[in-house]
Structure 1
Amino acid sequence: MRLPLIPPAELSEEQKPLYDDMKSGIGEKFNAFEAIRADGALMGPWNPWLHEPQIGGAIWDLTKAMSMQASLTDNARQIAILVTGAHFNAAYEIYAHVAVAEKEGMSEERLSTLVAGVKPTGLAGGEEVAYDVAHALVNGGVLPRPTYDMAVTTFGQHGANELIYLVGLYCLVSVTLNGFNVPVPEKE
Structure 2
Amino acid sequence: MPRYTSPLPSNLTDAQRVVYDTIAGGPRASTPLVPVVDDDGRLLGPFGLMTIVPSIGDAVQGVGAAIRFRGTLAALVRETAILTVAAHFRCDFEWFAHRAAGADAGLDGDQLEAIRTAAPADLPPDAAHARAVVQAILRRGRLDDADYARAVEAFGETGLAELVWLSGYYSMLAMALGTFDPAVPDVVQGQFDGSP
Q: Is the partner of 1:139 in helix, strand or coil?
A: helix
In 2, are the aligned partners of 1:34 and 1:185 still within 8 Å (CA)?
no
Q: 2:140 is paired with a residue of what secondary structure?
A: coil
Gaps of 5+ in 1: none
The aligned counterpart of 2:35 is: 34
CA distance in 1, matches of 2:62, 2:35: 21
Aligned-partner Cα distance in 2 for 1:57–1:157: 27
**Any idea what SS the aligned residue of 1:173 has?**
helix
Q: How far has the Cα of 1:184 moved from its partner?
A: 4.6
Aligned partner of 2:179 in structure 1 is 179
- 1:63-86: CA deviations, max 9, x gaps? 111111121111111111111111
User: What is the deviation of 1:17?
Assistant: 1.1
Which residue of structure 1 aligns with residue 146 of structure 2?
146
* Partner residue, 2:112: 111
Structure 2 portions without partners, runs of 5+: 188-196
- State yes or no: 1:166 paired with 2:166: yes
SS of 1:41 mapped into structure 2 = coil
Q: Which amino acid aligns with 1:164?
A: V
Give the TM-score normalised by structure 1: 0.92
Correspondence for 1:73 = 74
In the alignment, the residues of structure 1 paired with residue 73 and residue 46 of structure 2 have an alpha-carbon distance, to the nearest angstrom, of 23
Per the alignment, in what secondary structure is the counterpart of residue 35 of structure 1? coil
Aligned CA-pair RMSD = 1.5
1:89: which partner in 2? 90
Give distance in 2, aligned partners of 1:119 and 1:78. 17
Amino acid at match of 1:147: D
Tell me the CA shift for residue 103 of structure 1: 2.7
Contact 1:2 1:182 in 2 (8 A): yes
Q: 1:146-179: CA deviations, max 9, x gaps? A: 1111111111111111111111111111111111
Deviation readout 1:8-53 (Å, 9 max, x if unpaired): 1100011111110010133124x21433122211111100111210
Cα distance in 2 between the residues matched to 1:43 and 1:173 = 12
2:44–2:184: 8 Å Cα contact kept in structure 1? no
* TM-score normalised per structure 2: 0.88
Count residues with an aligned counterpart: 185
Output the CA distance in 2 between the equivalents of 1:39 and 1:103: 27
Deviation at residue 55 of structure 1 after TM alignment: 1.4
